[in-house]
Homo-oligomer: A and B are copies of this chain.
Amino acid sequence: MMHVFRPRDLDFLLYDVLSTEALCESERFAQHDREVFDSILETARKLAEDKFETHACDQDSNPPRLEHGEIKVAKAVKAATDAFIENGFSAGPFPEKWGGLALPSTIVNAYTFYFNAANIATSTYVGLTIAAANMLMNHGDDAVKEMYLPHLVAGVAFGTMCLSEPHAGSSLANLKTTATPRADGTYQITGNKMWITGADHDLSDNIYHFVLARLPDAAVGTKGISLFLVPKFEVNEDGSLGERNDVKVVGLNHKMGYRGSVNGVVAFGETGACRGRLVGIPHAGLSHMFHMMNEARVGTGMAAVSCAYAGYRHSLIYAQERPQGFKLGQRDQSQPEVMIIEHADVRRMLIQQKAYVEGSLHLVLYCAQLMDRHEIALDAKDEKAGELDFLLALLTPIAKAWVSEHCIDANRAAMQVLGGCGYTKDYPVERLYRDNRLNAIVEGTTGIQALDLLGRKVTMGQGAALRLLMAEIQKTLAAAKEIDGLGQWAEALDAKCQLVAQATMSAMGAAMNQEIEKFLCNATPYLNALGHVVIGWMWLEQAVVAKTGLAARPDDSFLLGKVQTCQYFYEWELPRVEQWTRVLTPIETTCLDMQTDWF
């Protein structure tokens, strides 16, 4: 694994492109500097290599089992999460007040990238805990926070998110779990939750489940849902562990990937004795959860690109070391065979991966940076905060869905580079391919992200977010037009922005006609089109930086590769926007019109 990570891949994006160190000019992050960030990332990389990657294969073959109602996880997993916590990574994003390190989201995402890429299954336990702590910090009242939040930050307790139920995966309107007030101010929780990652394990002393449930007076549908914290063990006043709560894993999901990660059905209140505490405002549970959900969606994009990066790097190394076949036109078969990276089609599969992976990584880190800049703007009561929030809201479904879908494509290409070897468990690419398939499903499927993008994000503020995005893209176009060789790509991207703008107007026309189904029926190709424009923008940004660097160091192969990959994206990928916008201008209704009994 040592040679799989190439630190410059992250450094280039964080510093050369995104100027992450500029965040330290704000009061919020003033205690940090690049040296601190570098040291954290270096520690994360080594820990990922030494403690996370090392058990990924074994854990995949020997997933945790449910025995006598309890789940024990392999020792290597605990050694990894212990080391993660000891090195302060669970405390990364939280203020010092709660025992945190007050790191920018950008850096938290960057170190998460290393752990994910090394072992996505083990990373879920700690990643979810950070997300849960974040939600509690943002929505819990002080008493609940003081009692529980430091445990999550310190990794003494781990967290879970309990949204779905067996009958309702994506649609929360019908969830049935109930919360009944008790005399002591807590709530009796009753119901079953499905798809619960980290549902049980022995990695931490306690587990805090964040559960959506209905209060007795709740409205039907999504407006009658509240959020509760349900600990596995009660917590005594002094912070020590109390009684076992009535929370139990009653079944595990046997999954195609993420096999090292526990995921199952949790029964709350089977014996009528499950106590939980209200978090936030009654009946506002879904909005509290969705606040976290947006970060979780960017996090899913990060998970996807991490798996794709690992696959890309493994396949690249394989292609550089595996002799097979001859150069085309070479007829003397007594000569040595060439490394397969010499074959044009292998290079195509590698450059496609590079384009998807490094473009996606850029987008996800950019989203993380928007979160940081939003926080800084809020601190400063800067009116730009609203704009940053809008931009992030618009990009989130793309960072989730475009990235997860295209990173599956990347893992598919990685396996193809290895051929038959890639299909066996002797190499990690087949596991990465299985793992990454999940990311287009969890935290809202691609179809749901597309509805969110076109139905909610594009329409909000009368199209304000999309206008903001286009204005940002124009800045890059202006910079690119000043640089030799980038002008034609700037023009190409500009033209594709126009196509997306036309597609948007076409969809809005249907919306204004109250043709709501027609408005949204092709939301997925819309997401693909806008996604390709956004990733094209990322690549143009990278090319601007690379070209500038090449002026000083014309032989820098890393930078030459960046420019060449940008060229790949513009020649091979960006034209696809035409195809996706075609079914939107005008709206093509073949799929919508297909009748159920015609299948």
Contacts and interface: CB of A to CB of B under 8 A. Distances in A.
B595 A560 contact: yes
Copies of this chain present = 2
A342 B558 CA distance: 49
B450 A422 contact: no
B447 A343 contact: yes
Contacts of A220: 333-334
A441 B422 contact: yes
B588 A572 contact: yes
B257 A423 contact: yes
Contacts of A588: 571-572
Contact of A557 (B174, B557, B593, B597): B597
A325 B520 contact: no
B591 A348 contact: yes
Interface string A389-426: 00000000000000000001000100110011111111
Contacts of A32: none
Contacts of A423: 255-257, 437-438, 441
Interface residues of A, number: 101
A564 B425 contact: no
Contacts of A164: 420
A41 interface: no
A430 B255 CA distance: 9
A522 B517 CA distance: 40
A333 B579 contact: no
Contacts of A598: 557-558, 560-561, 564
Interface string A331-374: 00110010101111111111100100000000000000000000
A424 to B, nearest CB: 5
Given A416-B440, A416-B441, A445-B416, A168 B255 contact: no
A421 B171 CA distance: 14
Interface in A541-599: 557-558, 560-561, 564-565, 567-568, 571-572, 575-576, 578-579, 582-583, 588, 590-599
Contacts of A523: 345
Contacts of A438: 423
15 contacts: A169-B421, A171-B337, A173-B326, A221-B333, A316-B599, A328-B519, A341-B599, A344-B520, A344-B591, A348-B522, A416-B446, A433-B437, A558-B598, A568-B594, A578-B578
